[in-house]
Structure 1
Amino acid sequence: MSEKLKVAFYWAASCGGCEIAVLDINEKILDVVAKADLVFWPVALDIKYKDVEAMPDKYIDVCLFNGAIRNSEQEHMAKLLRQKSKVLVAFGSCACDGCVVGLGNLWNKEKIFERAYLETPSTKNPQAVTPQTRVQVKEGELELPEFYDTVKTLAQTVDVDYFISGCPPPVPRVIETFEAILSGKLPPKGSSFLLNKSVCDECPREKKDRKITQIKRIYEIEDDFKTCFLDQGVICMGPATRGGCNAQCLKANIPCTGCGGPAPKITDQGAAMMSA
């Protein structure tokens, strides 16, 4: 019997939905555990950072890393898991593109702390205490990771081999990712495990001229459930977003929010949307 693959998962700055997406493959998880051992998954297994640090370099065959890099702990783990892994996969929109966490880049650390710990109506903080990297208490010194001014993607922090965006990644694409990993039939480095087309290509809604004369909210239109949202004046990111999700949101009558990241051959998703 061949030796099992060694697989790791890590959760950085994200909501945790990508962790659930791994389990959303349902009974296919049995195929994974039959051929792979989980050597690091903090959300599910009691394995410490020191255990990873003790592993030989490239001991982990594949690491699926979800979440952006928001603080010093996450940066340390990104660099450590890159060192210990033969293949590193940016798993989910936050790791690939920053996603919701990346909105923090509209402000700096000072402004975020002011809002979170001082200004919100439900906050009672008369001493204006904010998180510190170190604080001395009678039991000793407590330490927290340093909160950075800037959110970075995984690829802005370390070298990444593959990408699978989505918030969370679509189940069929997660299954295909695991199948490629388990079979050893990986695509060229830098590839995305999403499809090489846009969400528009998967959307069943009828496209017309897309000449928007007025931008509307979804509740402001009489949706016929057939016509392209853009033709109805509602912003939909489908033309600029990589497909592979089978247009799930659009089939539930919700415009695409762009979580699949830039469509093929597009580097600036926002600029591409402006000319869609």
Structure 2
Amino acid sequence: KYEDVRNYPDRYIDLCLFNGAIRTSENEEMAHLLRQKSKVLVAFGSCAYEGCIPALSNLTTAEATLRTAYLESPSTDNPDGVLPQPVTQVPEGELHIPAFYNTVKTLDQVVPVDYYIPGCPPEPHQIWAVLEAVIQGAELPPPGSIIGAGTVAVCHECPLEKHEKQIERFYRPYEITPEPGLCLLEQGIVCLGPATRSGCGALCPRVGMGCRGCYGPLDGVEDQGARILSAIASVVGVGTPEEDEAELERKIEAVMETLADPAGTFYRFSMARSLLQRARVGGNGAGKGEAR
């Protein structure tokens, strides 16, 4: 199949929806190949657009990721401690597999991208609207635009009522039954709706689950995690300005301790596209063939 694509003339494919982040050398090779063979290349879904959940491994190293998957997980049976290698000698010869990169990247960090369709997954009606526009020859927005999504925050299409209520702790979904019809964030359930682009119809908040942020940041926002941190800070209500500064800081820290996995929550979908991109860790941990 790869050879078939390589044999296409350049720009033979009218529209390519590229799904997935750039995790391996094979992913990167296909990104370059499909860019060469496509008139229009679309980063399709959160992985291609922002890195998505795979990019949370940017908080550690490739080596640590492989050790967790192949050696340390409870369900793994690997008594010989074998880890994947780009080249392995076997009696029949050499086995080659793609290099596993140290850093997960977005599609547009390796090739130019024409458009972005966010979502994990993108909503079917949004996908069809984009395909219909292309099929009918409608005028498309300028290259680099986000299509198949809204322009306001998820909160603007969410039916839950907001009352400017402040909270003293956060709850994980299993710890509380939310009161129907009321804003989840104001009940202490982390919701990324204030920092996430609309287009999904607020599906998660409508059924009592906080928005996870899969449609990405709003226009003009460079870091979705920083924006949600600001929104969360606005609903935390502990202490008074007259209190001792040390006591006030202690109360704030106590509230934040009830917020599970801040990095994984705020950057669940956007780590590779964020200002952070990855954590600085000791050792290079890079897969062979990749020093980034």
Q: Which residue matches 2:17?
A: 64
Find out whether 1:190 has 2:153 as its counterpart: no
Contact 1:78 1:158 in 2 (8 A): yes
Bigger proportion of residues as strand: 1
Task: Please give the per-residue CA displacement for 1:115-172, whole angstroms capped at 9, x wherever unaligned.
Answer: 1111223323232211111122232221100000010011111111100111100111
Percent of aligned positions that are identical: 55
SS at match of 1:155: helix
Contact 1:240 1:272 in 2 (8 A): yes
**Which of residues 190, 214, 226 is equivalent to 1:235?**
190
Q: Which residue matches 1:109?
A: 62
Q: TM-score by structure 2 length?
A: 0.76
> Cα distance 1:255–1:50, how it changes in 2: closer, same or farther (>3 A)?
same
Q: Which residue matches 1:90?
A: 43
State how far apart, in whole Å, the 2-side matches of 1:245 and 1:181 are: 21
Find out whether 1:180 has 2:109 as its counterpart: no
Q: Which has the larger radius of gyration?
A: 2
State how far apart, in whole Å, the 1-side matches of 2:198 and 2:187 are: 22
Shift of 1:265: 2.2
Q: Which residue matches 1:255?
A: 210
**Which of residues 103, 122, 125 is equivalent to 1:150?**
103
Moved more, 208-217 or 57-66: 208-217
Find out whether 1:266 has 2:221 as its counterpart: yes
Q: Which residue matches 2:27?
A: 74
5 Å-filtered alignment, 1:216-235, equals 216-235=171-190
Contact 2:153 2:197 in 1 (8 A): yes
Task: Please give the per-residue CA displacement for 1:55-89, whole angstroms capped at 9, x wherever unaligned.
Answer: 11111111000110000000000011001111000
Could you list the runs of 4 or more consecutive aligned residues of structure 1 that deviate by over 4 angstroms after TM superposition? none
Q: AA paired with 2:162?
A: K
Unaligned runs of 5+ in 2: 232-292
Contact 2:184 2:208 in 1 (8 A): no
Task: Please give the per-residue CA displacement for 1:219-259, whole angstroms capped at 9, x wherever unaligned.
Answer: 33342211101111111000100110011111111110000
Unaligned runs of 5+ in 1: 1-47
Which protein has greater RCO, CA pairs closer than 8 Å, 6+ apart? 2
Aligned pairs, number: 229
Contact 1:221 1:232 in 2 (8 A): no
> Cα distance 1:124–1:224, how it changes in 2: closer, same or farther (>3 A)?
closer
Q: Which residue matches 2:77?
A: 124
State how far apart, in whole Å, the 2-side matches of 1:184 and 1:240 are: 33
State how far apart, in whole Å, the 2-side matches of 1:232 and 1:188 are: 40
Shift of 1:90: 0.4
Contact 1:198 1:264 in 2 (8 A): no
State how far apart, in whole Å, the 2-side matches of 1:177 and 1:252 are: 27
Q: Which residue matches 1:32?
A: none
